[in-house]
């Protein structure tokens, strides 16, 4: 099972001053001004069983990039008979070319989370870690530099990868969902 999603609009920001380090009694600080050098989109898939991530950066996030990224998955996972891909309800995933690809590759089963439930996709936890540990703390002079930093982060993560584990019980999650539907 793979949790798949895209993280779009990752900005290559070059801070005018370096990140000021943490010191006892002082929080980490960074300057408010920066120079923009463009954006990239990361398409990533988290293997639920081992916690490893496959990712690739693209200029845009259309169905063409989505299909190009999908082509990487079978090559990296030889011997697998069937794959279940958990993803959001993004329009790209419903494009006719994507539907045609699904019909040609019956071993891939796409499962879309309901609108507003992206939190149920475990790749979002990994995106959060990527953002807080690498993107937000970085200063990048170009898009290729930010893409290299993302690739390095994926490599470091995979070296010590382990599965994400839900800490909430099924009952508590269902109670929260029922409360939301009762309020609306």
Strand partners, 36: 13
**pTM confidence score:** 0.77
CB 53 within 8 A of CB 44: yes
**Residues in the chain with pLDDT values less than 50:** none
CB 153 within 8 A of CB 133: yes
CATH number for position 34: 3.30.420.10
Dist. CA 109–CA 182, nearest whole Å: 32
* Residue 168 confidence (pLDDT): 80
* Residue 84 confidence (pLDDT): 85
Domain range for residue 153? 2-183
* Residue 102 confidence (pLDDT): 85
DSSP state of 20: B
DSSP state of 129: H
DSSP state of 114: P
pLDDT tens, 130-161? 988 888 877 788 899 999 999 999 999 999 99
* Residue 23 confidence (pLDDT): 67
How many structural domains are present in the chain? 1
CB 177 within 8 A of CB 169: no
| Strand locations in the chain (E) | 2-15, 34-47, 53-58, 83-87, 108-112
């Amino acid at each position: 099972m793979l949790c798949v999603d895209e993280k779009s609009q990752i900005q290559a920001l070059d801070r005018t001053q370096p990140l000021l380090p943490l010191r006892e009694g002082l929080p980490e600080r960074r300057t408010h001004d920066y120079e923009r050098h463009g954006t990239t989109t990361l398409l990533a898939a988290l293997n639920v069983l081992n916690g490893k991530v496959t990712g690739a950066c693209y200029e845009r996030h259309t169905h063409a990039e989505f299909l190009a990224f999908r082509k990487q998955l079978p090559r990296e996972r030889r011997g697998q008979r069937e794959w279940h891909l958990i993803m959001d309800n993004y329009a790209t995933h419903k494009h006719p070319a994507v539907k045609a690809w699904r019909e040609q590759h019956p071993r891939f089963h796409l499962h879309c989370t309901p609108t507003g439930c992206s939190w149920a996709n475990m790749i979002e936890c990994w995106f959060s870690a990527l953002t807080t540990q690498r993107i937000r703390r970085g200063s990048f002079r170009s898009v290729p530099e930010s893409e290299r930093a993302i690739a390095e982060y994926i490599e470091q993560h995979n070296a010590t990868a382990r599965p994400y584990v839900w800490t909430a019980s099924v009952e508590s999650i269902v109670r929260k969902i029922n409360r939301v539907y009762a309020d609306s």
